[in-house]
């Protein structure tokens, strides 16, 4: 009988040891939380930087697609770029004409892309004698600045990208 009691007591003491060893102490939990906080502080800025770089890459790609569509339109229309009413270069170009000429029947673009850096897709058209300058339309609800005469399209945003290059130079 003593043997059985000792076995039971032995089991009870093992169970009590298991119960005390299965939990984390407050100090251990605080150390883990501190380590996770340090890791988060290191990773979050990197993730935020990736988001900005992704927007910059999308802006460059949208410009490339836009420029290609402008060139294809001009090739199909005897060198006249989109923007002129009825392809008459003696008339004043306008953004509405660029929109309709490039997107009609999805021939050149399915839709005018948004400028990923400011979220706008409207086009501000600059006349023949004017010059496109950095920051000329910042604050307006335009994503793009376009001059049909030179077939030049720019982002409507000022500043520099994550590599130190001005957005205007894209």
Q: Is residue 159 part of a domain?
A: yes
| The pLDDT of residue 130 | 87
Who contacts 63 (Cβ-Cβ below 8 Å, separation ≥6)? Answer: 153, 155, 170
Q: Reading across the β-sheet that carries 144-147, which strands appear in turn? A: 123-125, 144-147, 152-155
Q: Is residue 75 part of a domain?
A: yes
Q: Determine the structural domain holding residue 26 and report its residue range.
A: 21-169
Residue 147 binned pLDDT confidence (cut-offs 50, 70, 90): very high
Q: Greater confidence, 137 or 63?
A: 63
Q: Is residue 148 part of a domain?
A: yes
Q: Is residue 98 part of a domain?
A: yes
> Average pLDDT, stretch 137-148?
91
Residue 170 binned pLDDT confidence (cut-offs 50, 70, 90): very high
Contact 134, 164 (CB under 8 A): no
Q: How many domains does the chain have?
A: 1
Q: Is residue 38 part of a domain?
A: yes
Residue 20 binned pLDDT confidence (cut-offs 50, 70, 90): low
**Structural Rg of the chain based on CA atoms:** 32
> Is residue 34 over pLDDT 70?
yes
- Mean pLDDT across the chain: 87
pLDDT in tens, 58-87: 999 999 999 999 999 999 999 999 999 999
């Amino acid at each position: 009988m003593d043997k059985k009691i000792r076995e039971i007591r032995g089991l009870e003491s093992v169970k009590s040891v298991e119960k005390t060893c299965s939990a984390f102490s407050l100090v251990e939990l605080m150390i883990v939380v501190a380590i996770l906080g340090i890791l988060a502080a290191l990773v979050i800025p990197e993730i935020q930087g990736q988001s900005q770089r992704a927007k910059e890459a999308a802006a460059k790609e949208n410009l490339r697609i836009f420029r290609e569509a402008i060139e294809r339109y001009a090739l199909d229309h005897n060198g006249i770029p989109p923007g002129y009413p009825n392809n008459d270069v003696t008339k004043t170009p306008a953004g509405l004409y660029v929109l309709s000429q490039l997107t009609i029947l999805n021939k050149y673009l399915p839709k005018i892309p948004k400028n990923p850096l400011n979220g706008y897709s409207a086009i501000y058209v600059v006349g023949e004698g004017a010059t496109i300058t950095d920051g000329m339309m910042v604050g307006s609800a335009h994503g793009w600045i376009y001059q049909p005469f030179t077939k030049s399209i720019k982002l409507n945003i000022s500043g520099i990208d994550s590599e130190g290059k001005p957005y205007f130079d894209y």
